[in-house]
Amino acid sequence: MSADASLQWRLMALAKTLGCDELGFGHVPRSVLAKEVPFKGEVYYVSLLKAFGEDLPEQKLEEHWRRLAILLESIAQQLSRHIASEGYKALPLPVDVRLCPNCHYHYSGFCHLFEMPVMVKGRNSILLFDHRRAAVEAGLGFIGKSGLLISPKYGPRVVVTSLITNAPFQPTSKLLMPYPCETCDECVKACPVGAITNEGIDYSKCLNNSGSTRCWMCLLACPIGRKKQPPPK
Ligand code: SF4
Ligand code: SF4
């Protein structure tokens, strides 16, 4: 089926109007999604990204992230309704579902446990979807040394979610750029428990340090997309 370019353009315009900062499109094999997808045919997705500012005090970050997650979910729902009004199926996925059997952390956006995909429990199905990887494939960013999704424009100060659909979309291109983490180790230095190394992330150390809320240090330290210098310590 050829791509519905007209719908794709209209969605981009609508998302912008609703407050979404960036949008990407992709195609995902059904096998990646584990069990049943609640519609037939090919599965496409829309990645949505909302950025948050640099000026928020550290104590407000968690609260602000949650507010933006709610906003982004509402945008995904409105876009899904628009897609459905054109005769296609669309399913908005939650930003944050606390279904991890180990830690009850968020799986997308900021969380370090997004090695695991989002799980959406339906009546007869469990969908597995990783917003972060979807966003990378759709050209919205790359995975930093910190394990965070890093947008070239906003750095790791972003929330992402996705919707899946059978509307045929032309996938947007993956970013082609030098990997900035090659020459940076700010998050490595900032992590208070040494959870980030050049070899990967030790999630158990991060979890032990962060407890029920995140420590945000790796996010705050990342220079990508930052327009201001961080305040002196
Ligand atoms: S402990 Fe803090 S700085 Fe280290 S990886 Fe976890 S969230 Fe990032
Ligand atoms: S702080 Fe540096 S190394 Fe860490 S994710 Fe950001 S750019 Fe990459």
User: Which ligand number lies closest to the CA of residue 187?
Assistant: 2
CB 143 within 8 A of CB 56: no
Q: Which atom of ligand 1 is nearest to the CA of 219?
A: 8
CA of 146 to the centre of ligand 2 (A): 6
Residue 229 lies in a domain: no
Determine, yes or no, domain membership for 149: yes
CA of 196 to the centre of ligand 1 (A): 7
Q: Which domain holds residue 132?
A: 5-221
pLDDT digits (tens, 9 = 90+) for 195-210: 898 888 887 787 676 6
Report CA(186)–ligand 2 centroid distance (Å). Answer: 6
Instruction: Check if 206 has its Cβ closer than 6 Å to any atom of ligand 1.
Output: yes
Residue 97 counted as domain residue? yes
- For residues 43 and 64, the answer to whether their CB atoms sit within 8 Å is no
Ligand 1, atom 8, residue with closest C-alpha:
218
Q: Which residues of 83-113 are buried (b: 16+ CB within 10 A; e: fewer)?
A: beeeebbbbbbbbbeeeeeebebbbbbbbbb
Q: Which ligand is nearest to the CA of 205?
A: 1
State how far the Cα of 87 lies from the Cα of 85, in Å rounded to an integer: 5
217 alpha carbon to ligand 1 midpoint, in Å? 6
End-to-end CA, the chain: 56
Pairing mode, strands 44-51 and 90-92: unpaired
pLDDT in tens, the chain (233 residues): 688 899 999 999 999 999 999 999 999 877 666 555 677 788 899 999 999 877 777 777 878 888 898 899 999 999 999 999 999 999 888 775 443 434 434 333 333 333 344 444 443 344 557 788 889 999 999 999 988 889 999 999 999 999 989 999 999 999 998 899 999 999 999 999 998 988 888 877 876 766 555 678 898 999 999 887 665 55
Reference 172, options 39, 11, 17, 51; nearest CA is 11
Any atom of ligand 1 within 6 Å of the Cβ of 95: no
Question: What value does the mean pLDDT of the chain take?
Answer: 80
How far is the centre of ligand 2, averaged over its atoms, from the C-alpha of 207 (Å)? Answer: 19
Q: 83: closest CA among 171, 163, 160, 2?
A: 163
Q: Tokens for 63?
A: 């609260």
- Name the domain count of the chain: 1
Q: Which ligand places an atom closest to the C-alpha of 149?
A: 2
Rounded distance, CA 29 to CA 49, Å?
22
On whether residue 79 sits in a domain, the answer given is yes
The Cα–Cα gap between 51 and 152 comes to 11
